[in-house]
Structure 1
């Protein structure tokens, strides 16, 4: 009885007052939630990405040095590793010697060509001399022929003069043949020179290729960033195309948020985005919508979904949206590819093309940095 008396002595709150408070709280929460839904589109299906570059050798050989460690910060052009260059240096020396020999062969052909020019001039002079001798012999033969008809010279003498004239004509023919042979020799030298020049050009190309291969024994960073997934060690034999390590340009990370197709109608290029990463606790970053993917994520899957089946169930698809992180933020450089992100897009303004407009005219997808 005493306990009941004590309870009876406590003040009691009216039930209607409590119910009104609950209704008011639910109403405030509902209004806040509805206003938030009207002003923002959110998703936690978002991740940090970066244009990671795989580093691979362009020649084969044994690795002599690895000059970087895991997670090392590297600059563009920095030497990451070296491949044994002895064999390539030998190839370069051989190519240079071959090129020098062929260049000397070109000079030898040029010397022969100059000699042939002199020989052609000499043969041409000999032909002129033979023609002059033939003209003289022909004139003498004509004179002796007249004298023979008048009885002043013997027939034997006429025969001797005629033989001399025939010899002079034969000498002219021989001189012409010799001159033609020299000219053909000069033409052959021209063809030989062209062939040798082509061989010399090929040899110089081999020298240049050997020099390029020698420069490739030093594997350099194609971009600035942080080394990751380093799989190369000294003494390892590597082949062209094999991934030795990756370089992540962490200062150029961006966010890819996968929004439902029921959300993208309110999105537009340039809208402000609040970015929250679990790794940063309660700290946030800001960014802007940069572009929309040309297809849903399912279309880029290794095994695309086949919807033309009898047991089809409609599921809201996800569309990747690229979000650029605003510059000048201290946490921007701390974003690492693969981090989970929550994004909240302010859809109260449409500073650029909407999703439908951007996809209808891809050129409108301007970068919104």
Structure 2
């Protein structure tokens, strides 16, 4: 055996030594993994399973459009985009010339109507006097008939003896026939006078001049024209911020045309789109924690679940999905959940429509109503378009009084 062969070192035992060192490390890793799994399982069982989160959430708010109730030409614009306005504040002024002329026509028509109705009441007296006249004529005609009838009765025996000529007898009979014809004519005239009086009485009975239907109709036309003149100024329906102004000075607009929008930023809510599998434990009233991307994690909003949308986003899409086709793949849908926010937090950290939010719902409390239950109705109202009828009532009262010919009580004009 050579010297080189005697100096060779055996290498076979090396793998056994390496495997013996690797085994404890693998056991340690497995133990750590198992502990981590157990810890996560415990964390999920105690904490995570009580929360449902989504980053598919956006701020929503009422978008109130400002639209004219009457047509006209824009003379002045008093608010622009980003301006903050209060409820009832004038935003747009229209040309009032046409509305003012319409009001003047309505006022003139009311004055004429009052005088026409006055003539109806005056005609009642005339027709009543005419009836008395016709009755007197009938009485006179009856007296004539009685007189001529007596003349004929006296002459008939004398005519048989020849004491009265036949010509005289004929004249008496002719006078009797004429008297009877005149009586019939007078009776017909009396009947016509009574019918005419009854017809006119139907138009006037049971009411006064100021409360006559024709006068009330003309008065309503005055109030309508007065209201149209008031509507030349377009107020803000609600308090908020102006957005999407499209109207320009000098533009001819029609009733109902959108001019601008007012967004009440104090009435915002969050529309959180949760997967349908996340809705199983959600209940109305459950607390919600939210973060806005515009403020980051440093600002936390507190809210509560207020209701569930009537359908998924796909159901209300412009081009809804056609799930009845052959190429169908199941896609988990999302349903919008309405989350109401704390008004004080909104005032401290204002939000804007469309901002991204992250919402986390605490579903541990299961005592509330399910999302499928009907939520409470939210009534909204604006007083910006409430008109004051006192001015129109005063105008109507003055016109009626001026054309009535006698003093008119204020109460009669203000009841309508």
Q: TM-score, normalised by structure 2?
A: 0.75
| Superposed displacement of residue 28, structure 1 | 4.1
Q: 1:331 to 1:87 in 2, by over 3 A?
A: closer
The equivalent of 1:175 in structure 2 is: 186
| Superposed displacement of residue 235, structure 1 | 2.3
Superposition map of 1:1-369 within 5 A: 19=29, 23=33, 28=39, 31-33=42-44, 35-186=46-197, 189=200, 202-282=217-297, 283-329=299-345, 331=347, 334-355=350-371, 359=372, 362-363=373-374, 365-366=375-376
The RMSD of aligned alpha carbons is: 2.8
* Equivalent-residue separation in structure 2 for 1:139 and 1:117 (angstroms): 33
Contact 1:57 1:239 in 2 (8 A): yes
| Superposed displacement of residue 201, structure 1 | 5.2
| Aligned-partner SS, 1:213 | helix
Q: Say which is worse superposed, 51-60 or 150-159, in terms of deviation.
A: 150-159
The equivalent of 1:10 in structure 2 is: none
Contact 1:251 1:333 in 2 (8 A): no
* Equivalent-residue separation in structure 2 for 1:366 and 1:163 (angstroms): 95
| Aligned-partner SS, 2:314 | helix
* Equivalent-residue separation in structure 1 for 2:277 and 2:145 (angstroms): 108
| Superposed displacement of residue 319, structure 1 | 0.8
| Aligned-partner SS, 1:316 | coil
* Equivalent-residue separation in structure 1 for 2:77 and 2:281 (angstroms): 51
| Superposed displacement of residue 253, structure 1 | 0.8
Contact 2:266 2:343 in 1 (8 A): no
* Equivalent-residue separation in structure 2 for 1:309 and 1:36 (angstroms): 42
| Superposed displacement of residue 244, structure 1 | 1.1
| Superposed displacement of residue 157, structure 1 | 3.3
Q: How many residues align?
A: 347
| Aligned-partner SS, 2:262 | strand
* Equivalent-residue separation in structure 2 for 1:335 and 1:179 (angstroms): 85
| Superposed displacement of residue 121, structure 1 | 1.7
* Equivalent-residue separation in structure 1 for 2:152 and 2:25 (angstroms): 158
Q: Residue by residue, what CA displacement relative to the aligned partner does 1:87-112 show, whole Å, maximum 9, x if unpaired? A: 11011111221232233222223323
| Superposed displacement of residue 345, structure 1 | 0.5
| Superposed displacement of residue 352, structure 1 | 1.2
Q: Residue by residue, what CA displacement relative to the aligned partner does 1:200-248 show, whole Å, maximum 9, x if unpaired? A: 5554443233222111101011112221122223322222222111111
Structure 2 gap segments, 5+ residues each: 1-23, 206-211, 379-416
Structure 1 gap segments, 5+ residues each: 1-13
* Equivalent-residue separation in structure 2 for 1:327 and 1:97 (angstroms): 53
| Superposed displacement of residue 148, structure 1 | 3.0
| Superposed displacement of residue 330, structure 1 | 5.3
Q: Residue by residue, what CA displacement relative to the aligned partner does 1:277-325 show, whole Å, maximum 9, x if unpaired? A: 1112221111111111122121111111111111211111001111111
Q: TM-score, normalised by structure 1?
A: 0.84
The equivalent of 2:385 in structure 1 is: none
| Superposed displacement of residue 139, structure 1 | 1.9
Q: 1:367 to 1:57 in 2, by over 3 A?
A: closer
* Equivalent-residue separation in structure 1 for 2:346 and 2:200 (angstroms): 73
